[in-house]
């Protein structure tokens, strides 16, 4: 076996939330490219994204989930459906979420609670449901998508609910890693920097803000979803077997500034 063989995912099944576009689609396509079959967990039918997996010769299914309704029973049902349709589950990528931009003085409490449900509570529910399955089988990988705003308050980004949720994602990741590392389950996170995705459309369309953010990125460019692909495969594979509770920043050096 060569070191590159450690990155292969042949015979494994991955479930990716929010895989219709952006980071989720890039991660799902990369996992398929490494050999995994993929369950696309999303509210909308990801017909175009599924092509990425089938083009790699992998099986792909859509499992519907509305994050606003992702209570304990629904999360357990989603995990059960993936196992029923693809025969097993080895990897969970929690990517789905949303963002709400408003100055804090007008960012309503109900909007704050909605963001926490979509970006943190649903994520924990899926971690718990998949984690129970992984503990029974003695192995599994959970990859949560955090953010550079898991470590910062943000400068002129106006997203207090999102920032709080992403701080929580790191806390959940570390707490579960501490509990499950000794039982064969790896729980880690990826913290993307500023990427050109649907969540950052308003920033991309503001020339002043776009330039100010770009000026702070040591790599000299905004990221794109494909920049997350390698990190997702690494954390899903045997190459990261001794990695637990890590938060891997993929940010062009943003947090190093």
- Give CA–CA dist 162/148, Å, rounded: 11
Q: Cβ of 254: how many Cβ atoms within 10 Å?
A: 21
Catalytic one of 124, 162, 194, 210: 162
Start-to-end CA span in the chain (Å) = 39
Beta-strand ranges (E) seen in the chain are 13-17, 37-42, 60-64, 91-94, 140-145, 185-192, 247-250
- DSSP 8-state assignment for residue 225: G
Sheet holding 13-17, edge to edge: 60-64, 37-42, 13-17, 91-94, 140-145, 185-192, 247-250
Is 162 catalytic? The answer is yes
Count, residues in the chain: 257
Contact 174, 123 (CB under 8 A): no
- Give CA–CA dist 200/184, Å, rounded: 36
Residue in this structure with the two tokens 């000299």, named with its chain if needed: 220
- Can you read off the two tokens belonging to residue 134? 């992984």
Cα atoms in the Cβ-side hemisphere of radius 13 Å centred on 50: 13
3-class DSSP assignment, residue 248: strand
- Can you read off the two tokens belonging to residue 67? 């994050």
- Which residues are part of the catalytic machinery? 162
């Amino acid at each position: 076996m060569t070191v590159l063989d450690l990155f292969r995912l042949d015979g494994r099944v991955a479930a990716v939330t929010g895989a219709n576009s952006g980071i989720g689609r890039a991660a799902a396509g990369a996992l398929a490219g490494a050999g995994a079959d993929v369950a696309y967990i999303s509210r909308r039918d990801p017909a175009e994204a599924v092509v990425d997996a089938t083009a790699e010769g992998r099986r792909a299914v859509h499992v519907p989930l509305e994050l606003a309704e992702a209570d304990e029973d629904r999360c357990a049902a989603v995990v059960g459906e993936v196992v029923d349709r693809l025969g097993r589950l080895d990897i969970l990528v929690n990517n789905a979420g949303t963002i709400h931009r408003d100055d804090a003085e007008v960012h309503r409490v109900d909007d704050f609670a909605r963001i926490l449900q979509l970006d943190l509570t649903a994520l924990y529910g899926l971690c718990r449901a998949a984690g129970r399955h992984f503990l029974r089988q003695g192995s599994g990988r959970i990859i949560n998508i955090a953010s550079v705003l898991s470590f910062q308050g943000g400068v002129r980004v106006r997203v207090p609910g999102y920032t709080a949720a992403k701080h929580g994602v790191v806390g959940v990741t570390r707490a579960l890693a501490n509990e499950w590392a000794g039982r064969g389950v790896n729980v880690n996170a990826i913290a993307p920097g500023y990427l050109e995705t649907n969540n950052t459309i308003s920033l991309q369309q503001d020339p002043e803000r776009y330039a100010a953010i770009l000026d702070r990125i040591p790599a000299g460019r905004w990221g794109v979803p494909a920049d997350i692909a390698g990190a997702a495969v690494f954390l899903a594979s045997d190459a990261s077997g001794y990695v637990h509770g890590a938060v891997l920043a993929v940010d062009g050096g943003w947090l190093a500034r």
